[in-house]
Amino acid sequence: MRHRVRKNLKFNWKTFQHRKAMERNLLTNFFLHKSIKTTPKKAALMVPMIDRLINVVNSKDELNAIRYVMQHVFTKESSKELFTNVAPKYKDVKTSWFTRTTPIKYRDWDNAKIVLLELI
């Protein structure tokens, strides 16, 4: 029996640091461009993190929210985009389901499904 394996991510072949860097990179690019093309597994990984970050920005005081967000994104530009454009749009409207995944196509070289993850 394998203990201490994160079974919900399904990226077990990556090390913890690689997984964390991949998550942060995807979040950074998502908040900069407000949409991202990726595989369904990575999109499913991103959805709860996006919901959590938007709710933290809307609910916590600003200093703690900045500290929390900077743990999850790489650049100041993406955090500024989150604080100024993305989160205020959902302030009193909703608390979850900020994203939509739309299947686009299959990637040519490995036939993996590609989805578009975007803000609603």
Q: Residue 83's pLDDT band (boundaries 50, 70, 90)?
A: very high
Whole-prediction pTM value? 0.84
pLDDT value, residue 91: 87
Q: Contact at 8 Å (CB) between 56 and 69?
A: yes
CATH of the domain at 86: 3.90.1030.10
Crossing angle (nearest 10°) for helices 40-59 and 16-33:
70
Distance of alpha carbon 79 from alpha carbon 24, whole angstroms: 12
9 within a domain of the structure (yes/no): no
pLDDT over 80 at 8, yes or no: no
**Beta strands per DSSP E along the chain:** 35-38, 99-106, 113-119
Phi, psi of 104 (to 5 degrees): -110, -65
107 within a domain of the structure (yes/no): yes
2 within a domain of the structure (yes/no): no
25 within a domain of the structure (yes/no): yes
Phi, psi of 71 (to 5 degrees): -75, -20
Phi, psi of 43 (to 5 degrees): -65, -40
Range of the domain at 82: 16-119
The domain tally of the chain equals 1
Candidate from 5-9, 52-56, 57-61, 103-107 with smallest mean pLDDT = 5-9
